[in-house]
Structure 1
Amino acid sequence: MNCEISEPRFTCALGAQNTVLAIPRAIPIVHAGPGCSSIVSAFAQSGYQGEAYAGGNQVPSTNTDESNVVFGGERDLRSEIESAMQVMKGDLFVVLSGCTAGIIGDNVEEIAKDYAVEGLPIVGTDTPGFKGNAYHGHEAVIKAIINQYVGNVKPNVQKGLVNVFADVPAQNPFWRGDFEQLKILVEKLGLKVNILFGPSSRGVEEWKDIPNAEFNILVSPWVGLEVVELLKKKYGTPYLHYPILPIGALQSNDFLRSVAAFAGIDKEVAEEVIQKEKKRYYEYFVDTADFFSSLQNNLPYELYVSGDSLTTFGVTKYLENEVGYIPSGIFVTDNPNQKNEEKLRELFAKEFPNYADKIFFEIDSEKIRDRTEPELKKTNRALVLGSDWEKVYTKQSGNLFQYISAPIHQQLIVEKSYVGYRGGLRLLEDIYNTLFEGKTITNQTYQAKLA
């Protein structure tokens, strides 16, 4: 049986390296073979996200070889840990094991504990590729930090303090902007947010503050559920599970109302925030009416989306409910297990009852192409949201394309996000600005049409 994946969408569990690097001043120490860390770093360059504080060629690695397979690699790992802590300035060190260490049984967690008992900020976790993909590695690292670094402390619950869990850093090229915008949305309700990852985070200070939160917010269909369940069990912290990325007015309204109700915030306070945001949003939205009416015969309406379940469901709901697109092919690429896949199918059927047969779970981009390209050749009224893998054949068919998922190597992404009210407007701009590219329509034909 051929299990080869053509045109992959994610890395192995060692992709957790990028989760560590997303925490300000956190440093991964990789116990794996030569090249493993570099491959993971290369994937993180989707959207040219940069190396972060200690990424790229700076990542300490044991570069295990044949001798380690025979005699074990724990001695080399101890040497690497001591060297890294001596040379590199970090607030938290996270030891990650690759396939070699996983096969021969090197116990990175126990080794990390030997240094942690001396008061050093270090944890260890198993992330060999055969255990899962980057989504698995992401959850494994978070749980390791909570169990080994934050530890068994007694919570000092602070009213109005919340932890927010959402995107998988680097795996989603828009993660930095998404976290920042989620933080901004929640803070509009008067809550204080530990966002944990990215430039808006206070680093390990926030992680130590995790047990003191009044509640947790998980913005994700399935990734992170094990984390918030752990926090509920360990510290008694309740959580709000919001499975769809809030994009545009309708979803943002619902998200804010859900958070406000869970937090026990006065309904009038929440509605005042929502009305203010809606007013601004629709003033801009209505101003696009002339553009849409003048180009109505050129506008696409068939929608194809490829990406992780969080982003895919969010953009699909926004474009169907607020812009009028018809979902024609929604491809979920984050490879959930069978149990989570069933939950995602139920969620999709609930949110899109008329299009329950349009969702597909596929991690191979070549197979996504086999399903999508023949349909695109029959029309020039389609919009495809996806990655580099979808761009070429979409452009060749004369249809519209917009990036929303990795890999992305033809666009620089700094702090772009489609989350929230402003994010919905930004997505609208990005989609329809592509009308002036390629075969669909040019600036000259647009001006002629106005005349």
Structure 2
Amino acid sequence: MSEVVEQLRHVCTLGGYESVLAIEKAVPIIHAGPGCAAKIWSTLGLQNGCQGTGYMGGHSIPCTDVGEKEVVFGGGNRLRKVISNSFKVMDAELYVVLTGCTSDIVGDNVPEIVKEFKNGEKSIIYAETGGFKGSNFIGHELIMDAIIDQYLEPSDEIEEKLINIWATVPYQDTFWAGNYETIKDLLSQIGVKANIIFGPGNGLKALNDVPKAQYNLLISPWVGLKNVIHLKEKFGTPYLHYETLPIGPTETGKFLRTIGKILHIDDNVVEEVIKKQEDRYFYYIERAADVLLETRLLPKHFITIADSAYTLGISKFLTNDLGLLGDKQFITDDVPKEYHKQIKEYFNENPSSNIGDIQFTSDSGNIKNYLRNTKFRTKPLILGSGWDRVISREVKGYQLSISAPVSDRMVLSRSYLGYEGALRLTEDIYSAVLQDFQ
């Protein structure tokens, strides 16, 4: 008997091309069938926080649009033409050729074709990203590895306190741009220079500086771990794997102290920054304490339906800082089984936290069945995606979209990370509760 997976929250491996678009003056060249790139753009761009196209994204992305002829006779010549014409009309500093299912199955010799164009002034690399290889989280890792192997060169110098930041996957994470800016701001306050290749004002200059960094910092439960290991193998750069998104005072303070210790930053400097930020955070929380607590409008129990990064980060904030109780946490990013055990341990680092059960699933049907068949004593808070709005109304819960696809909000530079981000998240949660009284 066949089964249908309902309402997926990510796309195929080829969707990793969004990570290329997040690098200023970098352009993907898609070697795939017609419609692949457009559907991915619609899912991760237009329908996910109205993020738009990025630099030369959307319908401007060069694509070979391979059809039956290329399947029979090969699409090598068509790819050559598209690359050549892209060089003429696309103002880019890095071109990344990405393959889809059709070209990977047919077996076009993409490495050799790309090699033909490497002797010119343009920088061009490739990655085999046939959609059958997995999700766009895997595609992101494949593209980053291609950049490491084919573009980056060793550096003769290491810049002290320069750290490469690798965190959430661009465009898949609706809040990615604001997240990277928040991380950069937090680290700058303790004297750390964050090198970020994604987002505004970064691009190829930041990418060229990657081998110069003193450390690679990965803020993610699993996505990107293979990349920072690869960077260590190629350039000898040590890495720090910080698995939890720093949301709220508890986790952000821990995050800053961890970075300060590794880089041998004066403890007084770090603690002064933390105190200043916590004083401001608690000023606003205490000012609203009678509304948040005495009115008893905030729900006691919460459910997250998101990728592992957000499920972990938000669950820790809600339990450790807001004092809510976790009911069930659904992890939807198709996490490889090799990481399941370790991710569950990340959730249970604090035995006193009531985070609830953890379930790995990419099927919204399973999630709907759980919500329909569970008797909640009070209205639950459901932190998920735009997919979950209907079922949340059905079970009379409070719903807030925090993971892809975020189809009911526009997101520009918003972030839930750090101290300021935690205040924004608290505002958004309470606003969702108040909507129920309109």
TM-score (norm 1): 0.94
**1:331 Cα deviation from its structure 2 partner:** 0.3
Could you say which residue in structure 2 is the equivalent of 1:343?
Answer: 342
Could you say which residue in structure 2 is the equivalent of 1:48?
Answer: 50
Q: 1:144 and 2:142 equivalent?
A: no
Could you say which residue in structure 2 is the equivalent of 1:418?
Answer: 416
Could you say which residue in structure 1 is the equivalent of 2:368?
Answer: 369
CA contact 1:49–1:413 (8 Å) conserved in 2: yes
Could you say which residue in structure 1 is the equivalent of 2:238?
Answer: 238
Cα distance in 1 for residues equivalent to 2:85 and 2:378: 58
**1:3 Cα deviation from its structure 2 partner:** 4.9
Residue deviations 1:95-130, cap 9 Å, x none?
A: 000001110111323322221233421110100011
**1:312 Cα deviation from its structure 2 partner:** 0.8
CA contact 2:319–2:354 (8 Å) conserved in 1: no
Could you say which residue in structure 2 is the equivalent of 1:449?
Answer: none
Could you say which residue in structure 1 is the equivalent of 2:399?
Answer: 401
Q: Which stretches of structure 1, 4 residues or longer, exceed 6 Å deviation after superposition?
A: none
CA contact 1:9–1:333 (8 Å) conserved in 2: yes
CA contact 1:380–1:398 (8 Å) conserved in 2: no
CA contact 1:110–1:124 (8 Å) conserved in 2: no
Counterparts in 2 of 1:98-109, with a 5 A limit?
Answer: 98-109=100-111
- Letter matched to residue 321 of structure 2: E
Could you say which residue in structure 2 is the equivalent of 1:117?
Answer: 119
Give the gaps of 5 or more residues in structure 2: none
Could you say which residue in structure 2 is the equivalent of 1:211?
Answer: 211
CA contact 1:373–1:394 (8 Å) conserved in 2: no
Could you say which residue in structure 1 is the equivalent of 2:388?
Answer: 390
**1:279 Cα deviation from its structure 2 partner:** 1.1
Instruction: Give the secondary-structure state (helix, strand or coil) at the position aligned to 2:160.
Output: strand
Instruction: Give the secondary-structure state (helix, strand or coil) at the position aligned to 1:237.
Output: coil
Residue deviations 1:138-192, cap 9 Å, x none?
A: 01111111211113x2341001111000011111111111111111111111111
Could you say which residue in structure 1 is the equivalent of 2:77?
Answer: 75
Could you say which residue in structure 1 is the equivalent of 2:228?
Answer: 228
Cα distance in 2 for residues equivalent to 1:244 and 1:374: 31
Could you say which residue in structure 1 is the equivalent of 2:87?
Answer: 85
**1:36 Cα deviation from its structure 2 partner:** 0.5
Cα distance in 2 for residues equivalent to 1:385 and 1:85: 44
Give the gaps of 5 or more residues in structure 1: 443-451
Cα distance in 1 for residues equivalent to 2:156 and 2:143: 21
Instruction: Give the secondary-structure state (helix, strand or coil) at the position aligned to 2:302.
Output: strand
Cα distance in 1 for residues equivalent to 2:197 and 2:188: 15
- Letter matched to residue 170 of structure 1: Y
Name the Cα RMSD after superposition.
1.5
Instruction: Give the secondary-structure state (helix, strand or coil) at the position aligned to 2:197.
Output: coil
Counterparts in 2 of 1:193-212, with a 5 A limit?
Answer: 193-199=194-200, 201-212=201-212
CA contact 1:111–1:124 (8 Å) conserved in 2: no
Instruction: Call closer, same or farther: CA 1:379–1:393 in 2, change over 3 Å.
Output: farther
Cα distance in 2 for residues equivalent to 1:423 and 1:337: 29
Q: 1:173 and 2:171 equivalent?
A: no
- Letter matched to residue 30 of structure 1: I
Residue deviations 1:367-425, cap 9 Å, x none?
A: 111112332x5444310000011111212332211111011111111111100000001
Instruction: Give the secondary-structure state (helix, strand or coil) at the position aligned to 1:314.
Output: helix
Cα distance in 2 for residues equivalent to 1:357 and 1:417: 25
Answer with 103-112 or 386-395: which moved more: 103-112
Cα distance in 1 for residues equivalent to 2:223 and 2:2: 28
Cα distance in 2 for residues equivalent to 1:304 and 1:166: 23
CA contact 1:418–1:427 (8 Å) conserved in 2: yes
Could you say which residue in structure 1 is the equivalent of 2:14?
Answer: 14
CA contact 2:383–2:401 (8 Å) conserved in 1: yes
Counterparts in 2 of 1:29-68, with a 5 A limit?
Answer: 29-44=29-44, 45=46, 46-68=48-70
Instruction: Give the secondary-structure state (helix, strand or coil) at the position aligned to 2:56.
Output: coil
Instruction: Call closer, same or farther: CA 1:161–1:380 in 2, change over 3 Å.
Output: same
- Letter matched to residue 115 of structure 2: K
Cα distance in 2 for residues equivalent to 1:246 and 1:107: 43
Instruction: Call closer, same or farther: CA 1:399–1:379 in 2, change over 3 Å.
Output: farther
Instruction: Give the secondary-structure state (helix, strand or coil) at the position aligned to 1:389.
Output: helix
CA contact 1:252–1:420 (8 Å) conserved in 2: yes
Instruction: Give the secondary-structure state (helix, strand or coil) at the position aligned to 1:350.
Output: coil
CA contact 1:349–1:355 (8 Å) conserved in 2: no
Could you say which residue in structure 1 is the equivalent of 2:193?
Answer: 192
Cα distance in 1 for residues equivalent to 2:199 and 2:264: 28
Cα distance in 1 for residues equivalent to 2:377 and 2:38: 41
Could you say which residue in structure 1 is the equivalent of 2:24?
Answer: 24
Cα distance in 1 for residues equivalent to 2:322 and 2:376: 22
Matched pairs, number: 436
Instruction: Give the secondary-structure state (helix, strand or coil) at the position aligned to 1:116.
Output: coil
Cα distance in 2 for residues equivalent to 1:106 and 1:28: 18
**1:355 Cα deviation from its structure 2 partner:** 5.1
- Letter matched to residue 158 of structure 1: E
Counterparts in 2 of 1:304-383, with a 5 A limit?
Answer: 304-351=303-350, 358-375=357-374, 378-383=376-381
Residue deviations 1:49-102, cap 9 Å, x none?
A: 011111111000000111111111111001000001101101111100000111
Cα distance in 1 for residues equivalent to 2:111 and 2:184: 32
Could you say which residue in structure 1 is the equivalent of 2:277?
Answer: 277
Instruction: Give the secondary-structure state (helix, strand or coil) at the position aligned to 2:383.
Output: strand
Instruction: Give the secondary-structure state (helix, strand or coil) at the position aligned to 1:47.
Output: coil
Cα distance in 2 for residues equivalent to 1:364 and 1:339: 19
Cα distance in 2 for residues equivalent to 1:355 and 1:380: 17
Cα distance in 1 for residues equivalent to 2:433 and 2:135: 36
**1:354 Cα deviation from its structure 2 partner:** 5.9
Instruction: Call closer, same or farther: CA 1:66–1:281 in 2, change over 3 Å.
Output: same
Instruction: Give the secondary-structure state (helix, strand or coil) at the position aligned to 2:373.
Output: helix
**1:303 Cα deviation from its structure 2 partner:** 0.8
Could you say which residue in structure 2 is the equivalent of 1:446?
Answer: none
CA contact 2:161–2:192 (8 Å) conserved in 1: yes
CA contact 1:329–1:372 (8 Å) conserved in 2: no
Cα distance in 2 for residues equivalent to 1:401 and 1:13: 29
Instruction: Give the secondary-structure state (helix, strand or coil) at the position aligned to 2:161.
Output: strand
